[in-house]
Amino acid sequence: MRVLVAEDNPSEMKHLRELLTGEADISIVGEAYDGDKALELINELRPEVAFLDITMPGITGIELAGMIDQSVQVVFITAHHDYAINAFELGSVDYILKPVDRERLGKTLHRIRRAKAGALNETLTISAKNEVIILNIRDIILVEKQQGYKELIIYTHDNQFAVNLTLNNLESRLARYGFVRTHKSFLVNINKLKRILPWGHRSYLAKLNGTQKEVLISRKYAPAVKALIDDI
């Protein structure tokens, strides 16, 4: 796995380098101490993964992520919680707080390897309107159980499918792909999460990439959602 690291703090750079070089399948192809150099190296070296410090001199990590090829998987590293929403909006693989420790980095690398191996490209076969349809699981944004209807609605980026399944059934089948129950009526792909807003007492409203539909996170399910966000 070809990796580039952009970090303006030499001691943090050394620490991250030592952690990454301990992984047999990782090759650090470039290092940069500011955003401008990082952009130059990413365009030149075409790494598969870029670890970006958010608050670098020149181009920030957040700005840089929006400028590079979307095939590069971005992992943000920062000392601050404040940028989490921006990181989700940019579709980053992960968001790691400093100081980076081996266990936390291991979770990130496991997620990247799983995606690289194609585990997130598995399919879900459904029957809708007398047709058999094969969906790429990573294209599914959310599943909704609408009040008064027996069928579920599966939302993808460009379509909606009504299926005769239960939410519990889909939850058990999709949980390992990052789907989490947010409400008795919603199952959400946590990888599509864009923003979480307070919505009443210990409840939240989730905005998702790929759809205008907003999803409730109830008090009952909020701890599970938070745990999954912390783990990715």
pLDDT at 89: 56
Average pLDDT across the chain, whole number: 88
Q: Distances in Å between the alpha carbon of 220 and those of 121, 150, 184, 200, 226? A: 30, 23, 9, 13, 12
Q: Is the Cα dihedral 57, 35, 13, 77 positive or negative? A: positive
- Contact, 165 vs 143, CB < 8 A? no
- Contact, 91 vs 197, CB < 8 A? no
pLDDT at 118: 64
Helix H or strand E segment including 11: helix 10-21
Residues 6+ apart with CB under 8 A from 217: 182, 183, 196, 199, 203, 204, 205, 206, 225
Would the pLDDT of 37 be above 60? yes
pLDDT at 121: 59
| pTM of the complete model | 0.56
pLDDT at 155: 96
pLDDT digits (tens, 9 = 90+) for 81-93: 776 666 665 667 8
Q: Give mean pLDDT, residues 116-123.
A: 68
Would the pLDDT of 50 be above 70? yes
- Tokens describing residue 186: 């919603």
pLDDT digits (tens, 9 = 90+) for 4-16: 999 999 999 999 9
Q: Distances in Å between the alpha carbon of 45 and those of 60, 132, 159? A: 19, 43, 37
Backbone angles phi, psi at 110, to 5 degrees: -60, -40
Would the pLDDT of 103 be above 80? yes
Q: Hey, what domains does the chain have and what are their CATH numbers? A: 2-117 (3.40.50.2300), 122-231 (2.40.50.1020)
pLDDT digits (tens, 9 = 90+) for 174-227: 888 889 999 999 999 988 988 888 887 778 999 999 999 999 999 898 888 877
Residues 6+ apart with CB under 8 A from 162: 128, 129, 151, 152, 153
